Structure 1
Amino acid sequence: MSSPSRPPSYLAVLRTPLTRRAFGAALLGRLSYGTVSLSLILALTATTGSYALAGGVMALFGLTSSLLSPLRAGLIDRHGPRRALPPMAVLYASFLACLTAATWRPGTSGTLLAVLAVAAGACTPPFGPVIRALWSDLLPDRHLLQRAYSLDAVAEEVLFVTGPLLAGLLAALVTPAAGVALSAVLVLTGTFAFVSSPAVRTARVLHDAPRTAPSPAPSRWRWTRGAAGLGRPIALSAAVGLCLGALSLLVVVFAERYHQAASAAWAEAALSAGSAIGGLVYGAVSWRVPGRVRLPVLAAALGLTLAAAGLSPTLYVLIAVVGVAGLFVAPALTTAYLLADESAAPHDRTRAGAWVNTAFNTGASSGTAAVGLLVGSVPLALCFVVAALPPLLAAATALRPPRTGTPPGERSAAPGGRYEARRLRVKPGTRQQRDR
């Protein structure tokens, strides 16, 4: 149910002082992640001649990047993006440059490629969590912050559609390794444009303003206390990732049964398009229902829709149903990131967002692997149902009322008191609630 007051528009987010340059620079850096995956898998396949070896190296790259994301985000929380991001970007781009050289011609050792891929994955700059933490510092109004997070989710969907297209074009016109080189250039350019923007400097001043004398003990206390509130968005993000990771393989299998394997790309495009539309609509509404309720409802809707997708009589129906499922993806992730932001202390926001991101990415990788063991041994429609179970079970668990204790509160939307309000233990309903 939306608020009767007129909510701010997406243009209001971009009109906020200092945000446009930082947002544009971050998008440029994140485009690197849209180009690197396809470029690297094509380059690895070309140089090794083995899909299995290329897939193994890519798995190492993805898992290292995902699992170490909270650690890198913690360094940014501690030192700030202006000090922590450039070294990560330089190291990441350097290892991508080494991979470019190693894959330009065939015959490179698989061991060397694996070492370089792990090194590159370990240094991946966490642009997503950083830009979301920046939004939180610059936009104290909760409605405006919801618009910003939704806009960010939609922009990310666009990047992961245009990035592979750009990588494919370079592979066709030059060589797949050229896409890896482009990814290095993009992340370097985007990083230095981002950290030099006035928004990053201003946000750091706001970020540091309420901070008292630094002490390791309070920092650990804040993170431990916030970890309880992080459990729900992390668990549901992992469940959504499991579901979507399984779907990526299931649509390929479904399309192959109709002898139209290439049409699986249309299902992926429909999912991204639905997600972008859903994110824009969702972000334009000022919700009265709290985020801790909306998130499991969105996850359950996604699971139910994908369970129904397995009953599609034709490939075209499957593509349409997958597009409908996409309507819930960006809203679910938007809400998860907002809940994580609410649960964390000001100096832990980047790491909190990174945990949600890691849960989603790890879930996606695990979902693809898990459903691969089922395909061929159980009916395809049942595979869709199994893929839908994680978000449905996670939603049922999250919606179950707590047995004892008071539900975790949400921090006040008042500027300067967003985390302090949580520490006062105000009773539920006595302060304005924020949601993603």
Structure 2
Amino acid sequence: MLTPYRRVLATPGAVRFSLSAFVGRLPISMISLGIVLLVEGATGSYATAGTVASAYLLANAFFAIVHGRLVDRFGQATVLPLAQGLFTGALALMAWAAQDDWGSLAVHGFAALAGATLPQLGACVRARWSWVLEEPRQVQTAYAFESVVDEVVFVTGPTLVTFLATAWHPVAGLAVAGATGLVGAITLAAQRGTQPPARWDGSRTDVGERPPMPWLVVVPLAVVCVALGAVFGSVEVITVAFSEEQGAKAWAGPLLALWAIGSLSAGVVSGAINWRTPPESRVGWGVLALGLATAPLLLVDSMWLMGVLLLLGGMAIAPTLIATMSVVEREVPTGRLTEGMAIVHTGLGIGIAPGAALAGMLIDEHGANPAYVVPLAAGVLGFAAAWCGRRIVTGSRAMP
């Protein structure tokens, strides 16, 4: 089963750029949770913590497209170090503002600035795979591998940031996130031999004119990803609150890590399977499965049972995201691939923000368990969007 992975990792430079991107991506699993832990500790309100995290995530989502265009236009070596430097500075100011009570506007503003400047390393590393590999099957395997790496990030990050914030200092987790992001982004940018050239058109030559974006493909995928994002954002905030209600707030990170472990294990299997079901169909069914998997969480009052259910529910994450990226890679012109992937990630970010904020409000009013209705509803709505559109890839291809 692991043979396809060994083949793609044997590509010259692949291990180096994938490892660099792994280190650089650790902040994506640490920042929003770190913000929740920091701001809730300073204000005592999950609703406020959720809105600050939402400001960060929304800005990151909206500016992801800008980052994608800049990377496609000027190249990773130029854009990544500059963006990462701005992100690190904004993150430090946000933490300082929260700790010294500069006011809600300052905290939200610096959080938004940090989100706007965070480089899109996930899109960048996938663009590198598409550049160094020529066989579509190998590219899909590489995307599956990166989805597994994403889950390793989400296993490591929440546990690390929770431990640092609760056992040492609320700012410690964010400090480590900023440092790892800086090291990873600069290391990745330095590897010029495997990066796609600026304005790459897929023919391994530079061109000046951008190919058109297939919006009929990209927009429906982005809408479905909004629902996925709402599931991610709400579950993260609710799980922290659930752990606190159970008197074990420090275990929020490990619970979220179990969710990611379920996704990781399913992602490994998904990447090794030669699927007969087209990826556009797997996207719709996957988001529905993810939403429905949160329904039992409405009634759970045991940390152990919560962990088991999160582990099982997480198995729907990676296969859905792998299918989404496979559709993007297949349908979007290579000259705009980073931008296309950034647009899909924008959908995730747009969904994460209101999902986290709405969950925070329900937690403050009704407690943690009832708030799990947010990811349940998001999953159902995501499936409805994919089903009703019936044109997730082309104007004539319908979901079965």
Q: Which moved more, 1:116-125 or 1:53-62?
A: 53-62
| Separation of aligned partners in 2, 1:178 and 1:386 | 30
Match of 2:221 among 219, 233, 236: 233
CA-to-aligned-CA distance 1:8-47 (integer Å, 9 cap, x gap): 422222111121111111112112334444445555567x
Q: Which moved more, 1:34-43 or 1:287-296?
A: 34-43
Question: Is 1:340–2:335 an aligned residue pair?
Answer: no
What's the offset of the Cα at 1:119?
A: 2.5
Q: What amino acid sits opposite 1:66 in the alignment?
A: A
Q: Percent identity?
A: 26
| Separation of aligned partners in 2, 1:302 and 1:379 | 22
What pairs with 1:247-262 in structure 2 (closer than 5 Å)? 247-251=235-239
SS in 2 for 1:9: helix
Residue equivalent to 2:28: 33
| Separation of aligned partners in 2, 1:366 and 1:178 | 26
The normalised TM-score by structure 1 is 0.77
What pairs with 1:94-173 in structure 2 (closer than 5 Å)? 94-99=89-94, 106-171=100-165
- Do the aligned partners of 1:18 and 1:198 also contact (CA within 8 Å) in 2? no
Q: Which moved more, 1:237-246 or 1:14-23?
A: 237-246
Residue equivalent to 1:392: 380
| Separation of aligned partners in 1, 2:340 and 2:72 | 10
Rate the CA distance shift 1:244–1:41 in 2: closer, same or farther, 3 A. Answer: closer
What's the offset of the Cα at 1:7?
A: 8.3
Rate the CA distance shift 1:121–1:399 in 2: closer, same or farther, 3 A. Answer: closer
SS in 2 for 1:328: helix
Rate the CA distance shift 1:202–1:302 in 2: closer, same or farther, 3 A. Answer: closer
| Separation of aligned partners in 1, 2:295 and 2:208 | 50
| Separation of aligned partners in 1, 2:54 and 2:285 | 32
What's the offset of the Cα at 1:381?
A: 8.2
Match of 1:183 among 170, 173, 177: 177
Rate the CA distance shift 1:402–1:182 in 2: closer, same or farther, 3 A. Answer: closer
Residue equivalent to 1:19: 14
Rate the CA distance shift 1:121–1:189 in 2: closer, same or farther, 3 A. Answer: same
What's the offset of the Cα at 1:306?
A: 2.4
| Gaps in structure 1 of 5+ consecutive residues | 1-5, 410-427, 429-436
Rate the CA distance shift 1:79–1:317 in 2: closer, same or farther, 3 A. Answer: same
CA-to-aligned-CA distance 1:231-278 (integer Å, 9 cap, x gap): 332222222222333334555666677666666555423211111111
Higher Rg of the two aligned structures: 1
The normalised TM-score by structure 2 is 0.83
What pairs with 1:281-292 in structure 2 (closer than 5 Å)? 281-292=269-280
Rate the CA distance shift 1:14–1:199 in 2: closer, same or farther, 3 A. Answer: farther
Question: Is 1:298–2:286 an aligned residue pair?
Answer: yes
| Gaps in structure 2 of 5+ consecutive residues | none
CA-to-aligned-CA distance 1:113-141 (integer Å, 9 cap, x gap): 44433322221111111111211222222
- Do the aligned partners of 2:200 and 2:206 also contact (CA within 8 Å) in 1? no
- Do the aligned partners of 1:96 and 1:184 also contact (CA within 8 Å) in 2? yes
- Do the aligned partners of 1:150 and 1:334 also contact (CA within 8 Å) in 2? yes
Say which structure, 1 or 2, has more relative contact order (CA 8 Å, 6+ apart). 2
- Do the aligned partners of 1:309 and 1:318 also contact (CA within 8 Å) in 2? yes
Match of 1:222 among 212, 221, 246: 212
Q: What amino acid sits opposite 2:189 in the alignment?
A: V
- Do the aligned partners of 1:130 and 1:350 also contact (CA within 8 Å) in 2? yes
CA-to-aligned-CA distance 1:317-339 (integer Å, 9 cap, x gap): 44323221111101101111221
Q: How many residues align?
A: 396
CA RMSD in angstroms comes to 3.7
SS in 2 for 1:140: coil
| Separation of aligned partners in 2, 1:170 and 1:383 | 26
Residue equivalent to 1:80: 75
| Separation of aligned partners in 2, 1:205 and 1:213 | 6
| Separation of aligned partners in 1, 2:33 and 2:388 | 41
Q: Which moved more, 1:309-318 or 1:278-287?
A: 309-318
Rate the CA distance shift 1:205–1:173 in 2: closer, same or farther, 3 A. Answer: same
